[in-house]
Structure formats: structure tokens, C-alpha cells
Amino acid sequence: MNQTKTFMLLAALTALFGGVGYLIGGASGMAIALVVAVAMNAFAYWNADKMVLRHFRAVAADANHPDPRVRAYVQDTLDLAVRAQLPAPKVYIIDNPQPNAFATGRNPAYAAVAATTGLLGMLTREEIRGVMAHELAHVKNRDTLTMTVTATIAGAIGLLANFAMFFGVRDSEGRPNMIAGLAIMILAPLAASLVQMAISRAREYEADRIGAEIAGDPQSLARALEKIEHYARSGRVNVDAERNPAMAHLFIINPLSGQGADNLFSTHPATRNRVAQLMELAQRFGQAWSAPAPAAASAGGPWGARKRGPWG
């Protein structure tokens, strides 16, 4: 269902691009904007993983790390990659108190996953496995490629909107149409952004489903989502994400602000809706649903009261 929804949204985005391009510059103007947008996003596609990891100051981790939490995280991630029939991804840690995680890389052969120190310190080992299975599902689904394609088309629409500002829009008789030009300048990029967000939400649902199948434990992922949501909204600020909100869609939970529903302006589905889907999967797996432990009681994660590690 989510694959079909993604295809339909991509088709709508493409149709929007074609319509706006034709209104502004005809076929030639549309082609120029597309070439520029493809060039910009091709650079981002080949270099985005390095740029993102550098932005969040991610540090590579391996099974020889001195902290047992990190060793378990690395080993479980590599084991899950085998279960998902994926090449071993590069594994990183981000020194950030907000629990969160993301995956990046242009394809499975160049994939990288990253988890914050907050995630490793506040979730149980099973919940961390659930989160990393979700991120590996993004890799398996090639969601980075999907979002790059949407960014390419949305970027082209933005360029066309800029053309409207400088060159205007003309009616069928060749006369300037200022109202149409203003409407395209404002509405076209907004519509493209809304479609991008809708695609992002659809990919999150799909990654939840496939991630639960990879880990074989929908409940742990559901509990992880609820805990991450709680901690992310309780004063633990992701400063690097706040500095660049355009990267918010990368994370498993929106690092910027809470979302009460799957509204048009949300990059992530509402956590309660994601948990509901996972509860249905748990029933199919024959699991009896158990609610997450109170946040205060589970703050130490799988190693009890948190001790000072290499990140403090």
C-alpha cells in the first residue's frame, strides 16, 4: 500500500513539475530547470552521506570499542544486516543527548547507520535492535534514492518558481499575467514540499513494517518509538538538527518538535499511528502487547544507571 502511495505521489510531483514548467517557459524552460536541478541533486546524492555524517560529527564505531553499549550496538546492527541480506553498513555514534538514529548512503553497498549516545543510554538492547532494524529497512528499500528523486523534482519546481519571479507568466495571447506569476511563485514550491513530506511519511511506515520483520520483534520497535518521542520532547535538544531543519526527515523521530497527527506539514507520521501499526504486526507475530516501562524507570537503558562513558 505504501509503495503504491509513494508511486502515486511521485507521479503527482512529476505532473506538477510539467504543468508549472509549461506555464512559465514552455518545453525549453522546463528542460533547463530540470537539468540544473538534476546536477544539484546528483552532487548531493553522491556526497550526502559524508555531508550528513560530518554535520552531526559522527564518529565511526566497531566491535572493539571500550564501552559495552557500543559493542552491543555494533554487533547487533551487523547481525541484523545479515538477516536483512544486506552488505555490512558502516556504524557511527553521534555525541548527542537526544535519543535518535538515522541511515544514509546512496545504496546498500555504501550505507551507514548512526545512533546518538542518548539512544544507547536510554533504550534497552532489544529496543535499540528494533531501531536499527528500522534504519536498515530504509537501506533495503533504497529510500535515499527515492527521496533524492523527489528532491530533484521539487528542486526543479523551485527553480521554475524563481523563473516566474524574474520572467513572469504570460497568458495564451502572450500578455503578462502577474496574478498567475505570483500564484506559481508561492503555491508551486509549497505544493512540492507537501508532496515530499507525504512521501517521507509513507517511507517511515514502510520502514517500520519491514524493520519489525527484520528484527522479528514489532513490540521492541514500538516501545522504542514511544520512548524516543518522550525523551525528544522533554528538553533534550538536538542542536545540530535545529541548525539545519532540512535534515529532520532523516531521523527515526522528528528531532525538532512534536507532531500530534499525520498533518500536511509533518515529515514523520504521528508516533501513536506508527505504534498502532506495529501492534497489529505484533498480533500477527503472536505477541501479546506490553506497554513500555515508565520513562524514569528505563532511563538507564540495558546497563542500569548510566555511568560516564567515552562521551560523558
Catalytic residue ranges: 135
The cell for 263 is 498533518
